Amino acid sequence: MQKTEITELILSCLRGNLEAAGPLPAEPLTSETRLLGRSAVLDPLGLVQLLVDVELQLDSAHGIAVTLADERAMSQKHSPFRSVGTLSDYIDTLIQEDPSHARA
Partner 1 sequence: MPGPEIVLITGTRKGIGRHLAEHFVRKGALVEGCSRTAPDWELENYTHHLADVTSEADVRRMMTSIRHRHNRLDVLVNNTGIASMNHTVLMPLESAARIMNTNFLGTFLMCRESAKLMRQQKWGRIINLGSIAVPMRLAGESVYAASKSAITTFTQILAGELAGWGITCNVVSPAPIETDLIRSVPPEKIQHILDRLPISRLGRYEDVAHVVDFFAHRASDAITGQVIYLGGA
Q: Which residues bind partner 1 (CB under 8 A)?
A: 45, 49, 52, 55-56, 59-60, 65, 67
Chain centroid, CA 12 distance in Å = 10
- 24 versus 48: smaller Cβ distance to partner 1: 48
Q: At closest approach, how far in Å is the CB of 28 from partner 1?
A: 27
- 3 versus 62: smaller Cβ distance to partner 1: 62
23-45 b/e (C-beta count within 10 Å ≥ 16 → b): eeeeeebebebbbbeeebbbeee
- 19 versus 59: smaller Cβ distance to partner 1: 59
